[in-house]
Amino acid sequence: MSAKYDDLNKAQLIELLEKRDRTKKLGLVWERDEIAADQAIDENFIACEIVPELSDKSAPWANMVIEGDNFDALRWLRMTLSGQVKCIYVDPPYNTGNKDWVYNDRYMDPEDRFRQSTWLEFLYRRFTLARDLLAEDGVILVSINDDNRAVLELMMDQAMPGMRLGSLVWRTRDTTSAKGGNFSDVHEHILVYAKPNFIFTGNQKSNKKYKNPDNDPRGIWNVDPLTLAFDRNDRERLFYPLHDPKTDIWYPCDPDRVWAYASKERLKPGQKTRSDTMEAHIENGMIVFPERQEIAVWNSKEEVLSAIELGNVPVTPRDKKPLIRIDTDPDFWVGKKVGFGRPGFKKFWKDLRSHVSPLSSWIARMNEEELDDLFTLRTSSGGAGTNEIQSIFGRKAFQNPKPKALIKQLVAQAASSGDMVVDFFAGSATTAQAVMELNAEDGGDRRFIMVSSTEATEGEPDKNLCRDVTAERVRRLNASDDPKYADLAAPFAYLRTREIAFEDLDYDLDPKDAWAALETLHALPLTIYDTARPWNAHEGEAVTLVMVDRYDAALLDWLSDRSRQNVFVYAWAPGQLARELAGVEVEIRSVRDTLVRNFQQ
């Protein structure tokens, strides 16, 4: 047996074999140690400590900036926010070498033939945790370059099975320099993975093209094509000349695009159709015939053939193909009034399945024309993100940030007022600013959680990206005198992750850290735990949280004066507290057991 498995017991070997039996054989495969990955999740407990001097504005804090390895932060968030996050946006490292990613110093070895596997495994562990944060109408949006899009997408298919919605494409810069093969790589992708109930906001459709010139009581309408994308061989019964009984004008059918509705003249006896016949639609005023058009009458077959030869017959609107040909029964048209216009179908505004245009997969440039039936995000070049950083910091405090306009529009499409937005590769906190600006514009109260590491190295041991860039950007926006930032406000708690061995939880889990976790678990903004008090309480609009450090008789009176509906009382020794509160109908939970159970879910 390989030495790789020498340390595994029988149960672990069976678990590994069962997992491999369940693994799909078709798709992306990378080198990974599944047992090591599983053990890493529960290797230790993660606490988050509020750092008051690095937090901004006064408590309670609805927003968070978390300093630490995002694997640790995600484990803490899964314990406290599982199933509660509406939108996650991340711009992860692109696997382009250690010059752009401090984690490469630890995870990436250019000489390692499993270099790609290391990157994929690094992200896989984080995305599987992030998946558990999403609400049933939640979405995760992931930026990636063209070189790594394919492998990342395949990996995410495994991390988030059945959740792939699609991808967005945006042009990152205006330059057209070629990367090789005379191919200009000036675009990136945003992968979209969503839970079942998620929908993009889209945009309200415009009804400016809908009119009611005939005063139809059914309301305003527009003209839709009256044809289907089938030719006469595919739908033979839908290939026929169309007659307007009011004007006695006939319209030839396009051999390559037949009529959308059957004619009762072509139906077999007793045959029924799924929709009304063409004649029924005409009678109901649903067919719009041209009012001003060229009309021809050919008195002999020779005149018809001459018109065909000279091209003097009705043609298709776009490619100008003749609609009357030698092989489409020229005899039929002799002596009839032939219309050169094209009939259409009345589409009423009230009958549209949706008045919202779906989001386009193409992110357009600012100067591109809008599409009628799609809502298109718009952005400037990637360099706009650097200009925004310089405007706030007065220097290039962060390399290659995404443009705020891009992230802002994504968040606007994915998250509404009251929703939680998470970025666990927060970097320069562009996502936080996007949330702040959206709230200022629509009066919403979206909340954000930004996760960032220090990115300290042996050469820069005092570096702290999270403190000096991620959090600092929000601080500066909160305090800015610049009129364009005047309405921005996002008080936040600054938290720092801390590892605790499970066997040491009873001794090392500080009450203030447990309090922060319980507040987050109950969707309450964060406050400072008062260690001088025997118990702390946080009364929210929908829930009241109490954590008892040591029993005090005043707690009984406090509870008696309140409705105990949606009151959650936590204690380190719940059995003892239950005896003290005998007769009081209130749910008492164990601090330790609740957090550990949620952490190990």
Give the model confidence (pLDDT) of 125-160 as tens digits. 999 999 999 999 999 999 999 888 999 999 999 999
Q: Do residue 117 and residue 150 come from a single domain?
A: yes
Give the model confidence (pLDDT) of 183-198 as tens digits. 877 889 999 999 999 9
What pLDDT was estimated at residue 560? 84
Residue whose entry in the numeric block shows the structure tokens 């007769």 = 583
Q: Do residue 129 and residue 68 come from a single domain?
A: yes
From CA 470, how far away is CA 451, in angstroms rounded?
8
Q: Do residue 94 and residue 193 come from a single domain?
A: yes
Q: Do residue 233 and residue 192 come from a single domain?
A: no
Domain membership flag for residue 212: no
Give the model confidence (pLDDT) of 522-559 as tens digits. 999 999 999 999 999 999 998 999 999 998 989 988 98
Domain membership flag for residue 336: yes
What pLDDT was estimated at residue 374? 74
State the sign of the Cα–Cα–Cα–Cα dihedral 157, 158, 163, 168. Answer: negative
Residue 530 structural domain: 514-599
Q: Looking at the predicted structure, is the pLDDT value of residue 105 above 70?
A: no
By the 8 A CB rule, do 139 and 195 touch?
yes
Q: Looking at the predicted structure, is the pLDDT value of residue 32 above 90?
A: no
**What CATH number corresponds to the domain at position 77?**
3.40.50.150
By the 8 A CB rule, do 103 and 531 touch?
no
Domain membership flag for residue 208: no
Domain termination residue (choose one: 437, 457, 490): 490
Q: Which uninterrupted H or E stretch holds 13? A: helix 10-22
Give the model confidence (pLDDT) of 210-235 as tens digits. 999 999 999 999 999 999 999 999 99
Q: Which uninterrupted H or E stretch holds 596? A: helix 591-599
Q: For the chain, give the mean pLDDT.
A: 89
Domain membership flag for residue 53: no
Q: Do residue 154 and residue 77 come from a single domain?
A: yes
DSSP 350: G
Domain membership flag for residue 213: no
**Considering its fold, how many domains does the chain have in total?**
4
Q: Do residue 70 and residue 183 come from a single domain?
A: yes
Q: Do residue 367 and residue 345 come from a single domain?
A: no
What pLDDT was estimated at residue 392? 87
What pLDDT was estimated at residue 1? 46
> Which pTM was predicted?
0.81
List beta partners, residue 526.
Answer: 61
Tokens linked to 599: 């952490």
Segment 334-363 mean pLDDT: 88
Tell me, what amino acid is at 7? D
Tokens linked to 382: 């990637």
Give the model confidence (pLDDT) of 246-266 as tens digits. 999 999 999 999 999 999 988
Q: Looking at the predicted structure, is the pLDDT value of residue 108 above 60?
A: no
Bigger pLDDT: 270 vs 576:
576
Domain termination residue (choose one: 350, 377, 408): 350
Q: Do residue 25 and residue 68 come from a single domain?
A: no
Domain termination residue (choose one: 312, 327, 350): 350
Q: Do residue 583 and residue 556 come from a single domain?
A: yes
By the 8 A CB rule, do 410 and 89 touch?
yes
Q: Which uninterrupted H or E stretch holds 548? A: strand 544-548
Q: Do residue 122 and residue 171 come from a single domain?
A: yes
What pLDDT was estimated at residue 369? 66
Q: Do residue 467 and residue 546 come from a single domain?
A: no
Tokens linked to 419: 């929703």
List beta partners, residue 537.
Answer: 546
Q: Do residue 71 and residue 182 come from a single domain?
A: yes
